[in-house]
Amino acid sequence: MEHVVNDAVEQALALLAIDSPSGYTETVAQYAYNHLKDLGFEPQYTRKGAVLVNLTPHLPQDNGLLLLAHLDTLGGMISRITGEGRIHIVNVGGLRPHNCEGENVRIRTRDGKVYTGTFQLHNPSAHVNPDYSDTPRTFDTMEVVLDEEVESREDVKALGISNGDVVCFDPRTTVTPSGYIKSRFLDDKLSAGILLALARQVANGDVTPTRPVWLHLTGYEEVGHGGSTSVPAGITDVVAVDMGCVGDNLEGEERKVSICAKDGRSPYDYALTSALIEAAKKSGADYAVDIFTNYGSDADATLSAGHEVRHGLIGPGVFASHGYERSHKKGVLSTLKLLDAFVG
């Protein structure tokens, strides 16, 4: 399955190269839509700008499975421009200021202009600021320094930059010769790439689903409501394919697929989770079952919106989530093995 893993990683890299904080996902959704169209499917855009596609239109549409991954990422939005021409932001999703210091950013204005800058502590030179080490890193103490010759609020506004403009952080994506995948926003573009690779397997006849299978690539997961809508008729099971947590007291790791039994909101459906575990065993996937106490998913949003379905959660292990993240091709392989066995 090496070629399938490489396909998943290539798709993830393409998605990671497209800025897409929650609410600003039109371009990345268009990429996914066009790719699925090229594979011979008939994707559709939802009212919320997500991408929905039926991989099995030839099957009776009852007892269907909906696989969810999200295309949106963490990011920022301009909240004010200071008198000296510095830009303050608020977070979109769970962006943390203390692990974004020194990162390059792109500001995307509403009239289509793009400006670059750096997210820095105010007065960021240790040679100048005696309080550099002791200053808390917050959205009040940090700011975007534009790569433009600006000295005032008026100079910044003259560029067409204003409050409410989107601030996108550079993902700094790289794949090492040893198979590690490092980038911001592997949550969840790595799993979105995995679902696009699964779609190619179905299109090529390498995987033959035994029940209706739909993909929903959402655009508002990081703010809590990505999977709340657009559940097709006949769906009985919803599985979020998102990142698996890696850290202290967890069995998951970057080279495994994680199966979540419970997150911060509730247990996942017991029978469906058991079926996912059996699929992992059957396929030979390297897997771990864990509880994610500080976590929510698109599948949670589906249930919270009132849809009467069973829900589950799987995904490749991702280290340092909501920061500069890392996974591995072996985790991608195990996730694909589990999915192939589960849908086929």
Please give the Cα distance from 161 to 152 (Å, whole number): 12
| pTM: predicted TM-score of the whole model, two decimal places | 0.97
**What average pLDDT score do residues 120-138 get?**
96
* Confidence at residue 246, expressed as pLDDT on a 0 to 100 scale: 98
Q: Which CATH class is domain 2-73+185-343?
A: alpha beta
We find that the CATH architecture of domain 75-169 is Beta Barrel (2.40)
Report the percentage of the chain scoring pLDDT > 70. 100
pLDDT of 180 reads 98
| Stretch (H or E) spanning 91 | strand 87-92
- Give me 238's structure tokens: 């919803």
Contact 262, 251 (CB under 8 A): no
Q: What tens digit of pLDDT does each residue of 167-213 get? A: 999 999 999 999 999 999 999 999 999 999 999 999 999 999 999 99
Query: Active site residue: 2, 154, 221, 308, which one?
Result: 221
Structure confidence at residue 211 (pLDDT) = 97
Q: By C-alpha distance, which of 288, 310, 166, 183 is closest to 238? A: 310
- pLDDT reported for residue 272: 98
pLDDT for the residue numbered 18: 98
Look up residue 46 and give its DSSP letter: -
Per residue in 278-319, pLDDT (tens digit) is 999 999 999 999 999 999 999 999 999 999 999 999 999 999
Cis, peptide link before residue 155, omega less than 30° from 0: no
Q: Which residue has the tokens 């996942």?
A: 268
What pLDDT, in 10s, does the model give residues 320-332? 999 999 999 999 9
Strand, helix or coil at 181?
A: strand
Give the CA angle between residues 206, 260, 324 to the nearest 5°: 85
- Tokens at residue 154, please? 């008026």
Helix (H, G, I), strand (E, B) or coil at 95: coil
Is residue 221 flagged as an active site residue? yes
pLDDT, residue 100, reads 96
For residues 317 and 327, is the Cβ–Cβ distance under 8 A?
A: yes
Phi and psi, residue 151, nearest 5°: -130, 0
Domain spans in the chain, listed from the N-terminal domain onward: 2-73+185-343, 75-169
What residue has token string 């301009």? Answer: 78
Tokens of 139: 């959205």
Other C-beta atoms lying within 10 Å of the C-beta of residue 133: 7
pLDDT tens, residue by residue, 231-257: 999 999 999 999 999 999 999 999 999
* Predicted pLDDT of residue 266: 95
CB 50 within 8 A of CB 43: no
pLDDT value of residue 122: 96
**Residue 90 CB coordination number (10 Å):** 13
Q: How far apart are CA 324 and CA 173, in angstroms?
A: 9
